[in-house]
Amino acid sequence: MNDVMFKTPVQEIRLSDTADRMFIKRDDLMGFSFGGNKVRIAWEFFQDMKEKGCDCLVAYGSSRSNMCRALSNLCSRYGIPCYVLTPREDLVEEGTFNSWMVKWFGAHIRFCHKSNVAEGVDKLMAELKSKGYRPYYIFGDRYGKGNEKAAARAYCQAYRELLEYEEDHELHFDRIFLASGTGMTQGGLMAGQRQYGGHARITGISVARPSCRGKSEVARFAEVDPEDVDFEDGYVCGGYGLYDGDIESVIRMMMERFGIPLDPTYTGKAFSGMLKYLKARPHEPENILFIHTGGTPLYFDYLNAVWDRKQAAKEITNNRCTGQ
């Protein structure tokens, strides 16, 4: 893999209900493991692991985790043992495309509870060391801190791509929006802006976290004061992985009109939130960039859920008709 595969296109789309020019950075089209922000970040973790002389990778994430998919795919490609610590509370009974792929790539799955992640990390790291491995935990210490620079580096570099696009196309983005969860992607973009310049307002649309926690996490990766972070938590729709009819309408519209897949956990929720955010704030027409952070397997999870709902509704209707 080289730098060329990480350069993704910027696509302009025309939305009839806004005067803004709308652009999308298509990181979902990256050339490895369905692309997305987690492929960029996973690659930086992988490089950091090699630089530190480690020979076994340890990740943490839910059954929906794009990060765990990307990391386990990298490990399968390069022959590195991969272990994934997963919280039991986030297990999806019927499985997800990401969870299936993590197993398919040969990752070893271990479980813990959200209340004792640190203990789970300690136990797994000790076990691997006893087997002679030099394990690398992607998030740093047992509390998930200490490795912020490696994670932020991915979108610090991606920010340079945006500046190159602006220069090549003689335009400037006024605002940059993205789904913001762990804070790694937004923090990396802010670190890039601090390093390379630019004036676009970088706004994270929260997929779950309240503003105070979200700002704090983004600031940790960006190395800025939390008050300098623009993090909107008004569109979380009840929490992580939850969505409503508005989000579903945006997902359908984007696929039908532009052939762009969005998922309800991250990109669909963020794109819907961005449109509401802009509509609620009168402004002169601007150049708006949305970072499509990928998560395509989650789009297919969503289609399965839609199909299941339709089948369930059909069965209820049939039962009523037959008097059952």
Reported confidence tier of residue 3, pLDDT bands at 50, 70, 90: very low
What is the percent of the chain with per-residue pLDDT over 70, rounded to a whole number?
A: 94
CATH for 3-34+149-308, options being 3.40.250.10, 1.10.3720.10, 3.40.50.1100, 3.40.50.720: 3.40.50.1100
Model confidence pLDDT, tens digit, residues 183-201: 999 999 999 999 999 999 9
Rounded to two decimals, the pTM is 0.93
Query: Token pair of 150, please?
Result: 């490696």
Model confidence pLDDT, tens digit, residues 95-148: 899 999 999 999 999 999 999 999 999 999 999 999 999 999 999 999 999 999
The residues, any chain, with a CB within 8 Å of residue 87's CB and separated by 6 or more, are: 62, 111, 112, 113, 114, 117
The alpha carbon of 196 is separated from its chain's Cα centroid by a whole number of angstroms, namely: 23
pLDDT at 94 (0 to 100): 65
Q: Are 42 and 153 in contact (CB under 8 A)?
A: no
- Asked if CATH classification 3.40.50.1100 holds for the domain at 38-137, the reply, yes or no, is yes
Model confidence pLDDT, tens digit, residues 243-284: 999 999 999 999 999 999 999 999 999 999 999 999 999 999
Averaged confidence pLDDT in the chain: 94
Say how many Å lie between the first and final Cα of the chain, rounded.
58
Domain limits, the chain: 3-34+149-308, 38-137
Selecting among 62, 63, 65, 272, the annotated active-site residue is 65
User: Is residue 65 flagged as an active site residue?
Assistant: yes
